[in-house]
């Protein structure tokens, strides 16, 4: 099946927002863009969950998108995080990102207020009517408190510019229902489930661990795409413990920021209520990075 959004197949990386002394470090942010361009990453996703969007001001949110788009300069696609639990705010952010030159928008399902399925549909419908560029539904009920059901996602997939879904329910059955019932490109929202999801028709991942090992994630995806399932499984097994730590040691983005600090690529600083990884977690993460060959 010819799927909408297939130009975003492969590796997208949900990049962190570097912070130094409480302020966004735009120089390091630009270095992150260059790092992903050099790796051959398909797309970068600024100001998503990994980018600490809940604690950025509206002005900071917009400036991060602008800085990333301008520095990317067409060398890599940019899918800006523009979701909100307020439809009006999501429309404002999404239209702003389109005007700023982003290639697509990543829209987390409305969180906390737990809309009905019709509410989810109307939320995304109103956003889609406000812009022309591609939209990616981000379904992560573990964070938002409610699942966007497969029938709702398939219904949204009938809208021209809703082209992708970031699938983070952990359910291959849900992903299968979306793949069977729509032409949407399905991207994994969990690094460790990328290969299983691709085995049923997914086309890639919006990754956290790709902040530090993008080329390895690319290799896994490409091996599977080329039909070398055995090699893809080897990459999956190599990556698994690292992927596990990124989500298992503490809430994202705490572990990935700790890893980037240990690797000398970021200060590791977070904004409250996020706090640094504890000593036991950092010791375990250090061991994982050493065993992987990164330290």
Domain ranges, ordered by start, for the chain = 6-228
121 part of the active site: no
Instruction: Give the H or E element holding residue 19.
Output: strand 19-20
Report how far residue 96's alpha carbon sits from residue 63's, in angstroms, rounded to the nearest whole number: 11
Longest CA pairwise span in the chain (Å): 49
Tens of pLDDT, residue by residue over 122-160, are 999 999 999 999 999 999 999 999 999 999 999 999 999
Distances (CA, A) of 132 to 103, 182, 287: 10, 20, 46
**138, 238, 261, 292: which is the annotated catalytic residue?**
138
Average pLDDT estimate for 85-114: 97
Alpha-carbon 222 to chain mean position: 19
Distances (CA, A) of 82 to 67, 86, 165, 237: 15, 11, 14, 33
30's tokens: 């630009």
The mean predicted confidence, pLDDT, of the chain is 97
Report pTM: 0.97
Would you place residue 40 in the very low, low, confident or very high pLDDT band (cuts 50, 70, 90)? very high
Contact of 172 with 196, CB cutoff 8 Å = yes
State the pairing for strand pair 23-24/19-20.
antiparallel
Tens of pLDDT, residue by residue over 194-253, are 999 999 999 999 999 999 999 999 999 999 999 999 999 999 999 999 999 998 999 999
Cβ burial of 222 (10 Å; 0-12, 13-18, 19+) is middle
Report how far residue 91's alpha carbon sits from residue 272's, in angstroms, rounded to the nearest whole number: 26
Contact of 126 with 91, CB cutoff 8 Å = yes
**4, 146, 166, 257: which is the annotated catalytic residue?**
166
Report how far residue 34's alpha carbon sits from residue 40's, in angstroms, rounded to the nearest whole number: 10
Average pLDDT estimate for 17-30: 98
Angle (CA) 89 139 199, round 5°: 145
The CATH number of the domain covering residues in 6-228: 3.20.20.70
Distances (CA, A) of 277 to 20, 36, 39, 115, 255: 17, 25, 27, 33, 7
166 part of the active site: yes
Would you place residue 1 in the very low, low, confident or very high pLDDT band (cuts 50, 70, 90)? confident
Residues contacting 58, CB < 8 A, separation 6+: 93
């Amino acid at each position: 099946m010819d799927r909408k959004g297939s130009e975003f197949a492969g590796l997208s990386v949900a990049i962190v927002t570097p912070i130094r002394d409480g302020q966004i470090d735009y120089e390091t942010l630009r270095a992150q863009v260059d790092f992903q361009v050099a790796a051959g990453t398909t797309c970068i996703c600024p100001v998503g969950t990994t980018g600490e969007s809940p604690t950025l001001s509206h002005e900071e949110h917009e400036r991060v998108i602008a800085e990333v788009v301008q520095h990317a300069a067409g060398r890599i696609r940019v899918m800006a995080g523009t979701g909100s639990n307020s439809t009006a705010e999501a429309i404002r952010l999404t239209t702003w990102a389109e005007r700023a030159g982003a290639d697509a928008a990543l829209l987390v399902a409305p969180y906390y207020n737990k809309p009905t399925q019709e509410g989810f549909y109307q939320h995304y419908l109103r956003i889609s009517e406000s812009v022309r560029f591609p939209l990616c539904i981000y379904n992560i009920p573990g964070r938002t408190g409610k699942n966007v059901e497969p029938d709702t996602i398939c219904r949204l997939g009938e809208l021209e510019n809703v082209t992708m879904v970031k699938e983070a329910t952990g359910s291959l059955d849900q992903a299968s229902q979306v793949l069977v019932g729509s032409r949407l490109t399905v991207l994994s929202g969990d690094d460790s489930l990328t290969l299983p999801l691709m085995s049923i028709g997914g086309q890639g991942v919006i990754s956290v661990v790709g902040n530090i090992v993008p080329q390895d994630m690319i290799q896994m995806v490409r091996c599977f795409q080329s039909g070398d399932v055995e090699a893809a499984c080897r990459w999956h097994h190599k990556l698994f413990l690292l992927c596990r730590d990124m989500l298992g040691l503490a809430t994202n983005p705490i572990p990935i920021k700790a890893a980037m600090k240990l690797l000398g690529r970021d200060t590791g600083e977070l904004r409250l209520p996020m706090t640094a990884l504890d000593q036991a977690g950092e010791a375990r993460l250090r061991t994982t990075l050493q065993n992987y060959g990164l330290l």
